[in-house]
Amino acid sequence: MLVLIVHIHVKSECIGAFKAATIENARNSIREPGVARFDVIQQTDDPTRFVLIEVYRTPEAPAAHKATAHYHDWLKVTEPMMVTPRTRATYTNIHPADSGW
């Protein structure tokens, strides 16, 4: 499994719209065969900060995800809402075993 952790800081006036667009993207993303999980979380002490936890079954799956229409739609809508460009880090799964996803 390949795990991407994406940090996003949005403008305070865009929180609701960002959440709606991102939930829609997540709902579509989890239907992709290469996606094991696609979680959206919001920071409790600063609601303008979000983290996406994306778990992919293969190293090729993130590129396939970025080729989807729903990803491009999400990006077009949400990029103007961001205070700064999103950042991401890539991780390798340790536990549970890949079969546990």
Domain-embedded: residue 7: yes
68 in a structural domain: yes
pLDDT at 90 over 90: yes
Identify any residues that bridge with 42 across adjacent strands, giving them in sequence order. Answer: 50
pLDDT in tens, 2-29: 999 999 999 999 999 999 999 999 999 9
Domain containing residue 61: CATH number: 3.30.70.100
Residue 101 lies in a domain: no
Note the pLDDT of residue 64: 97
> pLDDT tens for residues 30-67?
999 999 999 999 999 999 999 999 999 999 999 999 99
pLDDT score for 12: 98
Examine residue 100 and state whether it is found in any structural domain, yes or no.
no
DSSP structure class, residue 100: G
Show the domain range for 19.
2-93
The pLDDT of residue 99: 81
Total domains in the fold of the chain: 1
Nearest to 19 by CA among 77, 84, 76: 77
Residue 33 lies in a domain: yes
| Calpha distance 54→35 (Å, rounded) | 8
Residue 52 within any structural domain of the chain: yes
